[in-house]
Structure 1
Amino acid sequence: MTTERIETVSVTTPYWDIAADIYFPPGFDNTNKYPAIISAHPIGSCKEQTSGNVYGTALADAGYVVIAFDASYQGASGGEPRFIEDPAQRVEDFGYVVDHLVTLPYVDADRIGVLGICGGGGYSVSAAKTDRRIKVVGSVVGVNFGHLLHEAFSAYDPIATLDAIAAQRTAEARGAEPNVENLLPPTVDAAAGMGLDVVEATEYYKTSRGEKPNGATRSLISRRAAGYGWDAFTHAEVLLTQPLCVVVGDKPGAFGSYRHGLEIYRRARSEKKQLVVAEGFSHYDLYDQPEPVKIALDALIPFYDTNL
């Protein structure tokens, strides 16, 4: 799969610039109007990984203008301190990416969709609930970050974790060095025995398979608390009316994307919704492995074509 052109742009916001790559379809003509898709990266990832180089490229080849962006505090986007995963901020970023798209003369402002991978899937759902400019939602192994924090990311003890976060933030306010945690072991060998999702995440992010300079997989512990009070799916029964395509793998791991996918499919008010189960494949298989990615795209592209 090849696209003719990729352009790196800065999306202006009142707080800082958001870095994004725009993927153009073959034969792109800026005098025409194209449907557009916003592609949102996983937790601890960046726009050059699966949201851009895999799904962004494929959707552009299918005729869409695709914008893959780095979340605030991450990648090449602005925001200090670095390595913050702030769900409210990540959802806010979507609105400004839409603002950027609707100013582009070659984008049809009435035909804008979103696609989110992993945490980006949960953020895409959350953004679509209140931004009616988003007309279609796609999620690939989407994760509700708030649920993940209550579960695997806190060893199912969110209160003890929040107490530790509070102590660290107080220490930093008094002059201690920030504690930036690497979310993954440094090598595949070091990840052995740590569970399917940790092993496969390490294989993706810490090897040539998926490693990119801005794919940090790091987290500033003292600024993690807000996520524990956040839920991507709140009010989905009322507010999420857009057509929804949910892709999951049925080889589940501790990060919960299989369960989260089934939950949002059940809860969404959307009259048009599709659940796609890539049988025998895991969360990280759907990042870049040809067979499961094809299963996802064979569902997503016709879904976007029909509903955008």
Structure 2
Amino acid sequence: MSDTIQHVTVKALAWDLAADVYLPPGFDESKAYPAIVSVHPIGSCKEQTAGNVYGTALADEGFVVIAFDASFQGASGGEPRSIEDPVFRVQDVSYVIDYLVTLPYVDADRIGVIGVCGGGAYAINATMTDRRIKAVGSVTGVNFGRLMHESFSRYDPIGALDAAAEQRTAEARGAEPNVTQYLPASPEAAREQALTELDLFEATDYYRTTRGEKPGGRTEGLLSRQGSALGWDAFHRAEVLLTRPLCVVVGDRPGAFGAYRDGLEIYRRAASKDKELVVAEGFSHYDLYDKPEPVKIALEHLVPFYKKHLSP
């Protein structure tokens, strides 16, 4: 298991991103390694599944892996805090690649990206426009724009846009920020409120317990800055622009966040001539975060996928 982690900073638009670089066993800085950017879930942080599960596992297989906190989140810079803006999330991937290509031990022609949950769709979207990315993997990827249009706006995107506009004006005039909590405070609170839908409850079990809870993982969003997500679609123009090799991993126990449907959609729409759909049968969205058996299924496909497409 990779135990060599370097804590680094990456220059973004006008602030720094906090990142962890996972180095493979027997690392030799005189060599040039393939590298993978690992993108964390919505409202999450680099220490949650993107780094400690998939980052570590891929580093063990010989890749240099960099997991980073998104702008406005975790230990990264950017104000105000707790913005979940897809435009910035996608740009962050390119800033991280800007950093990778300066490292003498990274082969700039062998860079891939992987993302989990919302990070999966961000990784896919980044691959459409940053041609430095040679292969993309999505693990239980969720199109955050689609999710905002549907359940996260209570199926009223125009009403949500009006509320965001009103709140942003109020904050510009000095009002306190309105921070939306995506999840109940605990699994017990979820049960008390009858919030036991599969994805919502399992998210609470992951993020609100010692199973996955980390200081940087806030699972919250600023109401006044939700307009960008409501007007965004991770898969826009995938039929033309998504030509890089693609590996999509989903579980077949679907929940309200929609990773299963999003996975099938992007697999169908992608222009990629080399694409693979992996269905972890009997497992859910959050099982693929850290449960050994479904993670093993994912990695049994992702590791050879990256080795094939990031080979010399």
With structure 2 as the length reference, what TM-score do the two structures score?
0.97
- For residue 163 of structure 1, what is the aligned residue in structure 2? 162
What's the counterpart of residue 202 of structure 2?
200
The answer to whether the aligner puts 1:221 opposite 2:223 as a matched pair is: yes
* One-letter amino acid matched to 2:268: R
Partner of 1:102: 101
2:306 corresponds to which residue?
304
Q: Which residue of 1 aligns with 2:261?
A: 259
Q: Which residue of structure 1 aligns with residue 240 of structure 2?
A: 238
Q: Deviations over 1:266-294 (max 9, x none)?
A: 00000000000001100000000000000
Alignment-derived partner of residue 212 in structure 2: 210
- Who is 1:44 aligned against? 43
Report the aligned-residue RMSD: 0.8
Q: How far did residue 191 of structure 1 move?
A: 1.2
- C-alpha distance in 2, partners of 1:42/1:248? 14
For 1:79, the aligned partner's letter is G
Shift of 1:115: 0.2
- Report SS of the residue matched to 2:133: coil
What is the rounded CA distance, in whole Å, between the counterparts of 1:104 and 1:43 in structure 2? 28
User: Within 1, Cα distance between the matches of 2:205 and 2:158?
Assistant: 31
Q: In the aligned structure 2, how far is the partner of 1:32 from the partner of 1:239?
A: 32
Q: Shift of residue 18 of structure 1?
A: 0.8
Aligned to 1:111: 110
Q: In structure 1, what is the Cα distance between the partners aligned to 2:153 and 2:308?
A: 40
Post-superposition Cα deviations, 1:126-166, rounded to whole Å, max 9, x if no partner, equal 10001110000000000111001011211111111122212
Show the counterpart of 2:276: 274
Amino acid at match of 1:78: G
Find out whether 1:16 has 2:9 as its counterpart: no
Give the secondary-structure state (helix, strand or coil) at the position aligned to 1:99. Answer: helix
Cα distance between partner residues in 1 of 2:303 and 2:159: 43
Give, in angstroms, the shift of residue 4 of structure 1: 3.2
C-alpha distance in 1, partners of 2:274/2:255?
28
| Residue number in structure 2 paired with 1:289 | 291
Please list every run of at least 4 consecutive aligned residues from structure 1 whose deviation after the TM superposition is greater than 2 angstroms: none
8 Å contact kept, 1:74–1:83: yes
- Structure 2: which 5+ residue stretches go unaligned? none
Shift of 1:182: 1.4
> In structure 2, what residue type is equivalent to 1:185?
P
Aligned residue in 2 for 1:149: 148
Note the C-alpha offset of 1:102: 0.6
> SS of the counterpart of 2:14?
coil
1:69-114 deviation digits (Å, cap 9, x = unpaired): 1100001111000000011111111111111111100001110000
What amino acid is the match of 1:119? G
1:78 aligns with 2:77: yes
SS at match of 1:135: strand
- CA shift for structure 1 position 14: 3.5
Judge which range, 160-169 or 29-38, deviates more.
Answer: 160-169
- Aligned AA (2:135): V
Distance 1:4 1:110 in 2: 26
Question: Quick one: distance in 1 between partners of 2:164 and 2:13?
Answer: 28
Q: Residue by residue, what CA displacement relative to the aligned partner does 1:200-250 show, whole Å, maximum 9, x if unpaired?
A: 000000000000000011111111111111111011100110000000011
Per the TM alignment, residue 13 of structure 1 is displaced from its structure 2 partner at its CA by: 2.5
Question: Is 2:128 aligned against 1:121?
Answer: no
The question of whether the paired residues in 2 share the 8 Å contact of 1:124 and 1:137 is answered with: yes
Q: Distance in 2 between matches of 1:162 and 1:73?
A: 21
Q: What is the SS of the residue equivalent to 2:75? A: coil
> Aligned partner of 1:4: which letter?
D
Matched-pair contact (CA < 8 Å) for 1:6–1:21:
yes
When normalised by structure 1's length, the TM-score is 0.98
Distance 1:90 1:132 in 2: 17
Contact 1:4 1:27 in 2 (8 A): no
Tell me the equivalent position of 2:56: 57
